[in-house]
Structures are given as C-alpha cells and as structure tokens.
Amino acid sequence: MSRRERDGFLTLTIILFLFAIAPALYFSLRRTEPESYELVTFPTAEKTVQGNSERSVRKVKADPASNFDPNTLSDDGWAAWGLSEKQIAVLRRYQKNGGTFKRKDDVRKMYVIDDALYARMEPFIEISNTGSSDRSFSIKSQPEYQSNNYNYDRRDRQSKSLITGKSQSIRIDVNSADTTEWKRLKGIGSVLATRIVRFRDALGGFHDVQQLQEVYGLDPMLVNSWENQLNWDITRIKKLSVNKLYTKELQKHPYIGKKQAQHIVNYRNQHGDFRTINDMRKIVTLNSDFFSKIEPYLDFQ
C-alpha cells in the first residue's frame, strides 16, 4: 500500500468514526429543561354536571306510565308518549276546532296515533265525562262566538249552516263528488268545496273521515255532522306504483316528502322491487306514522 493510499484510508476511517459518535455527542451536549405543568380548572364543569342532572330529572318526570285524559293532557304529556311537535300540533288543531275524545277509541282514530302507540296508551286512558263535555263547548265561550245572531268569525262561518243547514237526506260519494255536489252539504261553499276536491285528487282519494279534517278551514264538528251523508267507495282510490315511480313522482303525494321518496327509490334500486309493505318497512328512515297514512295508497304490482 502506497503512502497516498494509507493517508486516504486513515481519512476515511476518521470520517466514519465522527459520523458514528455524532448523535451521542449531540444529545449529551444538548441542555434539557424539565417540563412543567399547570393545572387548569374549569368553573363551568360543575354547572354542566348540574345541568345534566336537571335534564335527567325532567326525563323522569316525563314518565308517561300514569293514567291521563287525552282531552286535558298537556303538550309535555303527549311528548312523553313520543309524539313530535308536529304531531302534537295536529292534536291541538283538532281540539281548537271543537274536537273531543269521548271514548278511548277516538284516540286511535287520530292518524298521528299509530296502532302500536295506541296499544301502549290504551290501559292508561281515562276520559272524564264531565271534562269531555265541558271541552266540547269551551270554544263557544270565546268572544267571537258570543252572538245571538250567530255572528261568527269569518274563518268559521261555515258553522252557521249547522243551525240553518241543508237537508240531511242528501248523500254524496266522497271519492267521486265534484265541487257542485260538495256544496250541497251544509257548511260548504265554493272555497271549501274546491279545497276538498283538490286535496282528494292529490291524495288519490279518501279512505277515512279524518282525512277530511286535514282540509284547511274545515271544522271537525262540521265533518262529524255529515256522518250519515257520506258514501265511501274506496275502489276509486288511485294507488301509487311504488315499483315503477321515481322520486319526483312519489313526492307529489301529500303524505310523501322528498327525502322519503328518495329513500324508497334508493332502497328499491339496491334490493329490488317491493313485494309487500313489509319489504318497505325495512327502510329504517320510514316510521310507523308514515306507513299508517300511506299504506292504503300503495300498489306493489
């Protein structure tokens, strides 16, 4: 080995040695300071716990497992049974228009109360005869109704005909009558007749008397007075071909929202055609209230 080669080999050895000890040398020379921690307390924590406790108490108070009169049950009471604000609003509108629950079965007739919910409620329903009677006339105690000349508020003028009414011998079929025939019934003018026919056509037909109470401005007391004048030919109901229609077509029905229509079509695309309503019930986003209203309008062909 020549002198030049020895010098090169020595230089290379020194470089490799420096590379080997460099990390250890770096950490040994680096000054480290002890880490310090500061304990921070949050004054709102206690309030949060207290707030949670208060919410828990309210939930306990909302326990529905006690007897109740549906004519006097508060909004919180209905909510405790699982009704939404919209469902409670339907019940309040029914009562505001003079509707009352005279027997347990009247509760089940409300379309916002499905069969499963009614089955849970039924053992706890206690209807007071005096309370029911008082409520049925409570709306008449309002100033706008107090007049010997039946000077009612404009939105309830159809109630006049309950007194001066038309012949009880008139009968119409709810699913074929035009506006002229509807106007033959007491309390019905051109505006209400048009609303009834438009709503019926949008639905595809009526199958239950409570659907008439969904027509804006139609007094439930007035509807009840027609009990013996209405024929129900449910064979005229136009059904929805749920295996053929798409979102835009399904959502035109008053009982089907846009998202519900999308979920129906998406599920059908993924799993194939619906054979029965039980197949549709597998769509977890559709609840029992939805099916109780829409079932008469479904065609699975």
- DSSP-derived letter for residue 260 is H
Tokens, residue 297: 């309008």
DSSP string, 24-70: HHHHHHS------------THHHHHHHHHHHHHHHHHHT---S-B-T
Q: Measuring CA to CA, how many Å separate 208 from each of 56, 59, 117, 143?
A: 40, 36, 19, 33
Q: What is the mean pLDDT of residues 231-258?
A: 93
Contact partners, residue 2, CB within 8 Å, separation at least 6: none
SS3 277: helix
Helix (H) or strand (E) holding 143: none
Per-residue pLDDT band at 86 (split at 50, 70, 90): confident
Which candidate, 259, 271, 269, 260, places its Cα nearest to that of 297? 260
Which pLDDT does position 61 carry in this prediction? 40
8 A C-beta contact, residue 297 and residue 237? yes
Which candidate, 207, 177, 208, places its Cα nearest to that of 192? 177
Q: What is the mean pLDDT of residues 252-276?
A: 94
Tokens, residue 178: 């035009």
270 has pLDDT over 60? yes
Which pLDDT does position 119 carry in this prediction? 83
Contact partners, residue 114, CB within 8 Å, separation at least 6: 288, 289, 291, 292
What's the pLDDT tens digit per position in 122-160?
A: 888 888 864 433 333 333 333 333 333 333 344 444 444
Per-residue pLDDT band at 276 (split at 50, 70, 90): very high
8 A C-beta contact, residue 220 and residue 213? yes
Per-residue pLDDT band at 281 (split at 50, 70, 90): very high
| pTM > 0.75: yes or no | no
Per-residue pLDDT band at 256 (split at 50, 70, 90): very high
Mean pLDDT of the chain: 77
Per-residue pLDDT band at 54 (split at 50, 70, 90): very low
Per-residue pLDDT band at 17 (split at 50, 70, 90): confident
